[in-house]
């Protein structure tokens, strides 16, 4: 059974190779190959899962060593896989949602002439993402980490004829490099500290390592997670990444890749457990991001960018939970999975809306769409209820637990602060999601013919698109409850992540009650603002905060002023130093030697007598020096 | 000086009953005997063979002699004479050991390749229908005189260069193997005198050639006098001229101390002054600063094939002798000679590299380059470790082939006045003759010590040995000098490839297979020792043990 693990990666990798190297003759049927191989990978995952369920919880982890990758004296890196409960969870999420999105893309990308390439990239992404979660050492994980970055870059810029898409891809790539640098530094620190990269030895020997080193490694891992998971301060790329085709946004930039940072932190739990300062940093990053994303999400009129803000915010929840240590890991992953369902569903719904609206993304030009696309409306609506944490649906179970755990950070003021932020975030979530819901599906229709006179004719999407949405809606409704039944999800992960019951500063029922109240308040506010009044087609000027939030809370302005300008000044001054001081020193030295040479060659006057004198003098010096050496 | 202070050997004339015939190990001396014998045969050829046939006869004798001598060296090495069977032969006069055989092999191969360039007869335009080489038609005729014109018209050539070269090679074979100071001196003279003559034999620019020869002779005689005086002083100190004997006295491990010796051996001034003078004689031959001043003038004036031969083979022989002197005779004085040699190495590297920057003549440029390389080699010598010996051996092998090849290329670039040695004439050579320019570029890169050439392997080996021997500062200065030197080597490459050719620039003559072989061997050795040096490094490592 263990020998099947490699097949998880091999199947989509084969698909990528075949589709990307196969050429035009695969244009007609290539998407079926890609989808089939994604499903094969899912089937293997399910097979391994059933096998794993049959085993004793403490002995469920499976290993497969493929070959020795870099066999050097004192430096050992293997291509080996480890499939434990944590990896298994990710495998099922990635292959499951991945397969659904492959199916969805068959319909969504039907008219794109580069569809074969698209499926090739999707398969490449699956392979890299699976490699990331089943690698048994950090170096191989890094390969997957870079692989998903590459696939993300290729897919964001898939419509490279659009300058905005090309720029967005470049931006995502560059911002991610900053995070990647953190991961590579963390790996180097691990190697110098532990002498190995393998999860087992590294994570078992953290107790013998100094807290300072663990903090350093932890902070570098956090930097990596910030890049990949779009957390403050490396969040700026995610909104622009919505330039990619919507299935990509659903799979990569909502359900799977952007959660890699949560995986990294949870996987490295032993390191963070030994470094409270690094954990605090993780919690702060999560708390800041969950508010940041939520506020941005409130102001966006582009449906995908509103959802992107929401994604950022929800991952902020997960990062916050992961920073809480053993009381939070399981809930971080649980929220990650439920979020995978409902956010993928929401994005697919958004894609379905765009499909019917001539690729219009401005929600101010939607309105009243529930009559035209009922399936989309219902599935999107269930996703909406799930994400705001409506009692009984998936999001409720996972988010409520995170809020509880946040209140349990400590007994003092920090518990109140982090708990309060998480609670406030829930209210804002309800507000912006209700806003999206109302602007899209309720009210009067607001669309008009475009400049060429083409009026959109909203219609329901084809079956290949609606079926994945329906499946995901089921997940959005039932997954959370199923996981919470008898604490089954927590118990499933416990052998890997450990678990402690949180002890919040206020009682659990009170937290749950206030969560519900807060979300009702948020939803009601949105209803008052957007449901009771006509939504203007052109956005009003808005308050200062609104305008800032529309500009992503000035993140790009900040980056431009501080990093771009600063970088330009730095390079200019370095060029100046290079021209004047470095070149000056080099040219000066050269000129000095040239002058010396010109003077010394005059000694060579061509007269044998002078040469003889030189020899005589030289001999005298030689003798004198020899005698002097003896005398000293 | 009291009577007892005079050495017993001088004063007590033992009754002479009979003279024992010295035992001579002819087999071990075979390489030298073959070469010297062939040189004598060459003289006879000059006397008895007709003018037309002399060239071919001399070529035949020379090549056969050098090849068979090399075969003899290989045979000796294969017979273990380089390692386990190493011994001192000819009544203590000659050592046959690893370094001696390695250097003799190198000298013979370099000599063979150089003789090919001596024999080149297609470069100079034909003189009245006769093919001529680089050497004067008749050395005895006054330049520009009627007799010279007559000799040129008659198609004379100086075929004596072949036996002269053989004599020089014979002396060079003995020089690094010499195991007593008198043999050292005689070997020095045996190889120096033919070189003085060869320098004077250029066909073109004869006055310059003769001037070079006279300078070389005068200064060479001057340095020989120093060396001989040094030998006398050391003998006065130790009472013997054999290396082992002197070393014993220096170390204080001598067995039989007669009263005279007991009196002198305490007088270290004799030893130190004498040792310094002998060192000076050897440093003159390797071209170390401040005994280098003959080098540029002589290299420029001598016929280019002779320059190449001299620059390569002399350096090999002289460094061999220097190594043996320092490692066998004077290891007990290590603390005295090492600092002095440090200083010599430093000024040699720096002055050679710096003065080369402003040279405008390619032959003078290469002369200063050879001075800088002498400095690098001295850095290896100073290491005073076994790896110092082997690294110097390797460097010499690598350097000699590059040198012969580079000077062979210089002979190809010609204009109406013979070889066009002024650098300005080399501008744009790469456009006209890309192959010749590329080959020369390979040699220049090797001189500069760029990786994948033998120059890098050699330089790395000597610097490593020097650093291990505790001469780190020397290595730093060596690397700085290499950087300075890289400037003028690369400048020539830039000149050849990135400058516009001049309208009336030189032409590149198409040589015979002889010069092509010399250049080809140079390139091949340069690249092989650069890409896969390990075998030869190992070989030099195995050879790097002196017999005592």
pLDDT digits (tens, 9 = 90+) for B68-90: 999 999 999 999 888 888 899 98
Check CB contact of A630 with chain B, cutoff 8 Å: yes
pLDDT confidence bin for B458, thresholds 50/70/90: very high
- Enter the tokens of residue A208: 């013998």
Residue B475, H or E segment: helix B472-498
CA distance A219 to A285: 11
* pLDDT at residue B4 tops 60: no
| A115 class by beta-carbon count within 10 Å (0-12 exposed, 13-18 middle, 19+ buried) | buried
Cα distance from A72 to chain B (closest Cα, Å)?
22
pLDDT confidence bin for A25, thresholds 50/70/90: confident
A617 touches A625 (CB < 8 A): no
The helices-and-strands tally (H runs, E runs) of chain A is 26, 2
Averaged pLDDT for residues A448-474:
86
List, for residues B126-144, the tens digit of each pLDDT value: 878 888 888 998 888 999 8
List, for residues A234-284, the tens digit of each pLDDT value: 999 999 999 999 999 999 998 899 999 999 999 999 999 999 999 999 999
Residue B103, H or E segment: helix B98-118
Q: Does B340 contact A622 at a Cβ distance shorter than 8 Å?
A: yes
pLDDT of residue B195: 96
Q: What percent of chain B has pLDDT over 90?
A: 71
DSSP letter, residue B88? E
**C-alpha dihedral (A410, A412, A417, A423), degrees to nearest 10:** 70
Which residue, among A598, A623, A628, A631, would best test binding to B if mutated, counting the most B CBs under 10 Å from its CB? A623
Q: Does A618 contact B273 at a Cβ distance shorter than 8 Å?
A: no
CA distance A580 to B273: 52
- ipTM of the complex as predicted: 0.90
Q: Does A627 contact B359 at a Cβ distance shorter than 8 Å?
A: no
* pLDDT at residue B178 tops 80: yes
Longest CA span, chain B: 80
pLDDT confidence bin for B9, thresholds 50/70/90: low
- Enter the tokens of residue B277: 């003078």
Mean pLDDT value across chain B: 91
Residue in chain A lying closest to B347 (CA)? A618
pLDDT of residue B10: 53
DSSP assignment of B152-202: HHHT---TTHHHHHHHHHHHHHHGGGB-BHHHHHHHHHHHHHHHHHHHT-B
Q: What percent of chain A has pLDDT over 90?
A: 66
Averaged pLDDT for residues A585-612:
90
β partners of residue A80: A65
pLDDT of residue A621: 93
Among the ranges A443-447, B103-107, B385-389, which has the highest mean pLDDT value? B103-107
Q: Does A629 contact B336 at a Cβ distance shorter than 8 Å?
A: yes
Cα distance from B412 to chain A (closest Cα, Å)?
27
Place of tokens 């990269």: A197
For helices A329-356 and A303-323, the axis angle rounded to 10 degrees is: 170
Contacts of A619 in chain B (CB under 8 A): 226, 276-277, 280, 291
Q: Does A593 contact B339 at a Cβ distance shorter than 8 Å?
A: no
Please give the span between the terminal C-alpha atoms of chain B, in angstroms, as a whole number: 33
Check CB contact of A627 with chain B, cutoff 8 Å: yes
Residue in chain A lying closest to B222 (CA)? A612
Averaged pLDDT for residues A75-79:
83
Q: Does B290 contact A617 at a Cβ distance shorter than 8 Å?
A: yes
* pLDDT at residue B486 tops 90: yes
CA distance B200 to A394: 103
Q: Count chain A–chain B contacts defined by CB atoms under 8 A.
A: 90
Cα distance from A607 to chain B (closest Cα, Å)?
8
Check CB contact of A618 with chain B, cutoff 8 Å: yes
pLDDT of residue A83: 93
DSSP assignment of A231-249: -TTS-THHHHGGGS-HHHH
pLDDT confidence bin for B11, thresholds 50/70/90: low
Check CB contact of A582 with chain B, cutoff 8 Å: no
Contacts of B275 in chain A (CB under 8 A): 626
β partners of residue A65: A80
Q: What percent of chain A has pLDDT over 70?
A: 100
pLDDT confidence bin for B7, thresholds 50/70/90: low
Count of Cβ atoms closer than 10 Å to residue A158 Cβ: 21
List, for residues A330-373, the tens digit of each pLDDT value: 999 999 999 999 999 999 999 999 988 888 889 988 888 888 99
Q: What percent of chain B has pLDDT over 70?
A: 97
- HEC readout, A250-261: HHHHHHCHHHHH
β-strands B507-508, A62-72: how paired?
Answer: unpaired
pLDDT of residue A206: 87
A166 touches A157 (CB < 8 A): yes
Give the 3-state secondary structure of residue B17.
coil
Bond preceding residue A385 cis, omega within 30 of 0: no
pLDDT confidence bin for B1, thresholds 50/70/90: very low
pLDDT of residue A48: 94
B277 touches A619 (CB < 8 A): yes
pTM attached to this predicted model: 0.67
CA distance A249 to A304: 8
| Closest C-alpha to A4, from A37, A32, A46 | A46
Check CB contact of A611 with chain B, cutoff 8 Å: yes
Please indicate whether residue A426 or residue B131 has the higher confidence score (pLDDT). Answer: A426
For chain A, state the CA radius of gyration.
30
CA distance B548 to B541: 18
| Closest C-alpha to A432, from A562, A306, A298, A623 | A298
Residue A64, H or E segment: strand A62-72
β partners of residue B334: none
β-strands B413-415, B418-419: how paired?
Answer: antiparallel
- Enter the tokens of residue B79: 């017979």
Contacts of B477 in chain A (CB under 8 A): none
List, for residues A312-334, the tens digit of each pLDDT value: 999 999 999 999 999 999 999 99
Residue in chain A lying closest to B297 (CA)? A606
| B17 class by beta-carbon count within 10 Å (0-12 exposed, 13-18 middle, 19+ buried) | exposed
pLDDT of residue B23: 86
pLDDT confidence bin for A137, thresholds 50/70/90: very high
Averaged pLDDT for residues B448-464:
94
Please indicate whether residue A294 or residue A552 has the higher confidence score (pLDDT). Answer: A294
């Amino acid at each position: 059974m263990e020998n099947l693990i490699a097949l998880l990666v091999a199947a989509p990798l084969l698909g990528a190779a075949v589709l990307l190297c196969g050429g035009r003759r695969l244009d007609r049927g290539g998407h079926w190959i890609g989808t089939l191989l994604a499903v094969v990978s899912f089937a293997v995952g399910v097979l391994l899962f059933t096998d794993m369920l049959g085993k004793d919880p403490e002995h469920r982890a499976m290993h497969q060593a493929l070959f020795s990758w870099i066999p050097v004296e004192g430096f050992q890196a293997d291509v080996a896989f480890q499939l434990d409960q944590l990896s298994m969870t990710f495998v099922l999420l990635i292959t499951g949602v991945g397969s659904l999105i492959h199916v969805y893309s068959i319909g969504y990308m039907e008219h794109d002439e580069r569809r074969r390439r698209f499926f090739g990239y999707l398969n490449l992404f699956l392979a890299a993402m699976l490699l990331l979660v089943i690698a048994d050492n950090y170096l191989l994980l890094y390969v997957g980490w870079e692989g998903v970055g590459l696939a993300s870059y290729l897919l964001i810029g898939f419509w490279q004829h659009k300058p905005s898409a090309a720029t967005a891809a470049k931006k995502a790539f560059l911002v991610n490099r900053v995070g990647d640098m953190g991961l590579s530094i963390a790996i180097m620190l691990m190697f110098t500290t532990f002498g190995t990269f393998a999860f087992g030895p590294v994570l078992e020997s953290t107790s013998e390592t100094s807290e300072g080193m663990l903090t350093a490694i932890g902070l570098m891992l956090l930097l990596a997670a910030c890049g990949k998971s779009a957390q403050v301060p490396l969040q700026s790329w995610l909104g622009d990444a919505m330039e990619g085709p919507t299935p990509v946004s659903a799979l990569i930039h909502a359900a799977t890749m952007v959660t890699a940072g949560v995986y990294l932190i949870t996987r490295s739990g032993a390191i963070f457990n030994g470094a409270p300062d690094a954990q605090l940093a993780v919690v702060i990053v999560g708390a800041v991001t969950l508010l940041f994303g939520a506020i941005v999400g409130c102001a966006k009129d582009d449906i995908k960018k509103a959802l992107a803000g929401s994604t950022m915010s929800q991952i902020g929840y997960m990062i916050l939970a992961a920073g809480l240590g053993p009381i939070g890991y399981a809930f971080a992953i649980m929220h990650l999975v439920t979020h995978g369902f409902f956010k993928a569903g929401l994005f697919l719904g958004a894609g379905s809306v765009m499909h019917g609206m001539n690729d219009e993304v401005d929600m101010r030009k939607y309105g009243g769409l529930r009559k035209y696309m009922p399936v989309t409306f219902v599935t999107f609506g269930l996703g909406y209820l799930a994400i705001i944490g409506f009692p009984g649906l998936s999001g409720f179970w996972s988010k409520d637990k995170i809020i509880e755990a946040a209140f349990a950070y400590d007994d003092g003021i920090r518990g109140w602060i982090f708990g309060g932020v998480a609670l406030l975030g829930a209210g804002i979530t309800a507000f912006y999601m209700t806003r999206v819901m109302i602007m899209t599906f309720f009210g009067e229709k607001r669309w008009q013919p475009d400049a060429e006179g083409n009026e959109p004719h909203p219609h329901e999407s084809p079956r290949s698109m609606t079926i994945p949405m329906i499946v995901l809606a089921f997940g959005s409704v039932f997954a959370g409850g199923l996981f919470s039944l008898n604490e089954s999800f927590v118990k499933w992960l416990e052998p890997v992540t450990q678990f402690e019951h949180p002890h919040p500063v206020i009682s659990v029922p009170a937290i749950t009650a206030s969560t519900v109240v807060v979300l009702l308040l948020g939803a009601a506010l949105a209803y008052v603002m957007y449901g009771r009044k006509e939504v203007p087609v052109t956005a009003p000027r808005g308050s200062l905060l609104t305008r800032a939030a529309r500009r992503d809370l000035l993140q790009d302005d900040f980056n431009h002023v501080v990093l771009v300008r600063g970088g330009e000044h730095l390079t200019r001054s370095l060029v100046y130093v290079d021209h004047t001081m470095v070149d000056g020193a080099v040219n000066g030295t050269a000129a000095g030697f040239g002058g010396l040479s010109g003077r010394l060659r005059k000694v060579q006057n061509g007269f044998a007598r002078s040469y003889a004198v030189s020899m005589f003098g030289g001999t005298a010096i030689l003798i004198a020096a020899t005698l002097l050496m003896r005398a000293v | 000086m009291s009577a007892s202070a005079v050495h017993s050997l001088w004063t007590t004339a033992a009754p002479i009953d009979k003279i024992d015939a010295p035992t001579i190990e002819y087999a071990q001396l075979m390489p030298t005997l073959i070469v010297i014998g062939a040189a004598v045969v060459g003289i006879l050829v000059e006397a008895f063979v007709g003018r037309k046939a002399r060239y071919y006869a001399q070529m035949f004798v020379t090549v056969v002699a050098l090849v068979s001598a090399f075969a003899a060296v290989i045979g000796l090495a294969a017979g273990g004479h380089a390692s386990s069977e190493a011994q001192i032969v000819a009544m203590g006069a000659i050592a046959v050991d690893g370094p001696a055989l390695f250097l003799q092999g190198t000298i013979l191969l370099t000599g063979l390749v150089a003789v090919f360039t001596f024999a080149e007869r297609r470069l100079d335009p034909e003189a009245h229908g006769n093919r001529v080489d680089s050497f004067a038609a008749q050395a005895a005729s006054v330049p520009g005189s009627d007799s010279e014109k007559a000799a040129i018209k008659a198609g004379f050539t100086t075929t004596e260069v072949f036996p002269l070269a053989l004599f020089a090679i014979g002396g060079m074979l003995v020089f690094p193997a010499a195991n007593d100071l008198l043999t050292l001196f005689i070997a020095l003279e045996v190889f120096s005198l033919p070189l003085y003559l060869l320098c004077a034999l250029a066909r073109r620019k004869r006055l310059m050639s003769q001037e070079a020869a006279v300078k070389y002779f005068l200064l060479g005689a001057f340095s020989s006098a120093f060396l001989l005086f040094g030998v006398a002083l050391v003998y006065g100190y130790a009472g013997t001229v054999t290396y082992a004997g002197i070393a014993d006295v220096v170390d204080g491990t001598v067995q039989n101390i007669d009263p005279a010796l007991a009196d002198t051996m305490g007088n270290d001034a004799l030893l130190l002054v004498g040792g310094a003078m002998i060192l000076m004689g050897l440093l003159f031959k390797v071209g170390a600063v401040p005994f280098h001043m003959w080098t540029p003038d002589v290299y420029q004036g001598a016929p280019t094939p002779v320059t190449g031969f001299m620059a390569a083979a002399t350096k090999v022989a002289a460094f061999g002798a220097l190594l043996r002197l320092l490692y066998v005779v004077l290891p007990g004085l290590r603390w005295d000679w090492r600092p002095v040699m440090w200083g010599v190495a430093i000024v040699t590297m720096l002055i050679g590299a710096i003065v080369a920057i402003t040279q405008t003549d390619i032959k003078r440029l290469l002369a200063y380059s050879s001075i800088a390389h002498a400095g690098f080699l001295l850095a290896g010598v100073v290491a005073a470790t076994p790896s110092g010996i082997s690294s110097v051996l390797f460097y010499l092998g690598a350097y000699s082939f590059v040198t012969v090849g580079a000077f062979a290329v210089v002979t190809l670039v010609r204009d109406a006045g013979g070889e066009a040695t002024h650098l300005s004439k080399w501008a744009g050579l790469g456009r006209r003759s890309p192959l010749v320019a590329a080959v020369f570029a390979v040699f220049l890169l090797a001189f500069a010590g760029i990786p994948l050439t033998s120059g890098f392997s050699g330089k790395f080996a000597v610097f490593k040995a020097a650093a291990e021997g505790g001469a780190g500062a020397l290595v730093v200065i060596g690397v700085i000098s290499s950087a300075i030197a890289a400037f003028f080597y690369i400048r020539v490459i830039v000149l050849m490839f990135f400058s516009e050719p001049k309208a009336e620039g030189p032409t590149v003559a198409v040589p015979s297979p002889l010069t092509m072989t010399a250049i080809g061997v140079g390139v091949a050795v340069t690249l092989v020792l650069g890409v896969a040096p390990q075998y030869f490094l190992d070989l030099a490592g195995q050879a790097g043990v002196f017999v005592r």
